Amino acid sequence: MENTKIEFEIAPELIRQEIATTLKSTPASLAEMMAHLSNSQGKNIRGYLAALTAADQAQMVGTSAIKAAAAIEILHLASLVHDDIIDEADTRRGKPSLHAKYGKKNAVIAGDYLFCLCFSLISEAYSQGTSVEYIDRISDFSKAMSALCLGEIHQSKHNFDFDLTLKNYLKIIGGKTASLFALSMYSGARAGGLDHQSAKVYGRIGSYFGIIFQLIDDCLDYEGEAGVAQKPVGKDLREGIITLPLIYALKRDPQIKEAFAIGIPDETIFDQMILKVKALGGVDHTKALAYKYYMKTAKLISGLEDPFKKLELNKMLDRIYDRKM
């Protein structure tokens, strides 16, 4: 495809359309599932970051970067579909999850199919570049996806592990969430013409964005208000996913894990634990760590040259840090 330039302003809408077109251009047997996913698109933050980072100083961005941004969102979507199967989550983005609506079998296959769509889109996106560039981009995508899988495996290994350390927790979220954010900004920067070394700074900012995103997510699991949060409060804990609010609370009062001593406790105990974790300062402590990453990220952003990117990245930083759902 030809890599024409468009105004960055319309990039988010074009990414949304590219995703919808890709999902809807599937054969009949998968069309219904893909339409379901297309109709519940998220905020496409990862794709937005990829396109923003690829923009030039005149705030113009190549159509190939739009395709690559859509590919990242579709990779994200693939991981969500499989994630929901793994976590047995019934809802996603306020709608029934794919496996809840179409069954596990179909959802496993649909996730695999989304991986194919992602690689097809990258092929289209980078078809104008040199062989070396192209291989590098494919390799970036495989590596990010590998890191994501490793994060998930780690999380699964530490299911209901009340001795999970901060270090291992950070390793988990570094894989399952930060790797895709890092990919977005690193590959965006490369698509925008930066060399590996310069693009790495963007990759690091992306990685921090991902960590903040996940830290806030983990707080919301303990304090989100029903109806506002798009997932039920306490979902992680019920599934045995140990996150920082709990890790911190356990440090202050190791007794709270006793509730699990004779197996999975009942609903009332879960509700009590959620209150205890909050009362012990687990959520506040997690937010404090998120703030540290906020400051580190802001510092990196301030070192960038392009004023437009600085402005937009700062906005995104606030948006990720302050989000309530």
The CB-side HSE value for 179 (13 A sphere, CA atoms) comes to 23
Window 61-100: contact mask with its own copies (x via CB under 8 A): -----------------xx--x--xx--------------
Rg over alpha carbons for the chain, rounded to the nearest Å, is: 20
211 contacts 179 by C-beta, under 8 angstroms? no
- Number of residues forming the site for its own copies (CB under 8 A): 48
SS3 content of the chain, % helix, strand, coil (to 5): 75, 5, 20
Residue closer to its own copies by CB (options 48, 113) is: 113
100 contacts 130 by C-beta, under 8 angstroms? no
Among 234, 217, 231, 227, CA closest to 274: 234
Find the shortest distance in angstroms from Cβ 294 to its own copies: 30
- When asked if residue 119 is in the footprint of its own copies (CB under 8 A), the reply is yes
Find the shortest distance in angstroms from Cβ 224 to its own copies: 24
Among 3, 134, 278, 300, binds its own copies (CB under 8 A): 134
Q: Name which of residues 224 to 253 contact its own copies (CB under 8 A).
A: none
Among 72, 174, 218, CA closest to 80: 72
Q: How far apart are CA 45 and CA 43, in angstroms?
A: 5
Task: State the DSSP code for 199.
Answer: H
Among 35, 138, 229, 298, binds its own copies (CB under 8 A): 138
Among 149, 201, 229, 300, binds its own copies (CB under 8 A): 149
- When asked if residue 60 is in the footprint of its own copies (CB under 8 A), the reply is no
Window 283-312: contact mask with its own copies (x via CB under 8 A): ------------------------------
